[in-house]
Amino acid sequence: AQSVTQLGSHVSVSEGALVLLRCNYSSSVPPYLFWYVQYPNQGLQLLLKYTSAATLVKGINGFEAEFKKSETSFHLTKPSAHMSDAAEYFCAVSDSSKANTGNQFYFGTGTSLTVIP
């Protein structure tokens, strides 16, 4: 079974400050991990993904995340927040062993990021 927990349903940061969105996963098999961003009334946009290669993953828009197996975490960070980063962020986990047959994604409950000018 797989699941994702996102700590903090709402996070507020000042413009220019560090962004840290937390994600912890539970998986009985080696996971693939993803971060998505969703703007109002839009679909999901992939920010970055971990697929068992480098543990520090760099994504779009200056975001990165580090896979820490010992902590079962995949926290999302960005050194300096921008107003355009205000959105909903979802962490997701899938089963790497099913990569060639179609993956079911398990999403966290999301974190709403507010950027204060």
Partner 1 sequence: GAVVSQHPSRVICKSGTSVKIECRSLDFQATTMFWYRQFPKQSLMLMATSNEGSKATYEQGVEKDKFLINHASLTLSTLTVTSAHPEDSSFYICSAFSDRGRLYEQYFGPGTRLTVT
Segment contacting partner 1 (CB under 8 A): 13-21, 37-45, 62-70, 74-82? 37-45
What is the smallest separation between the CB atom of 94 and partner 1, expressed in angstroms? 7
Instruction: State which residue, 38 or 77, has the beta carbon closest to partner 1.
Output: 38
Segment contacting partner 1 (CB under 8 A): 11-19, 53-61, 67-75, 96-104? 96-104
Determine what percent of the chain falls in helix, strand and coil, rounding each to the nearest 5: 10, 55, 40
Contacts of 26 (CB under 8 A, 6+ apart): 1, 2, 3, 4, 5, 72
In angstroms, the CA 41 to CA 12 distance is 21
Residue of the chain from 35, 94, 113, 115 that contacts partner 1 (CB under 8 A): 94
Residue of the chain from 1, 28, 102, 117 that contacts partner 1 (CB under 8 A): 102
Residue of the chain from 7, 22, 72, 107 that contacts partner 1 (CB under 8 A): 107
Sign of CA dihedral 26, 28, 34, 36: negative
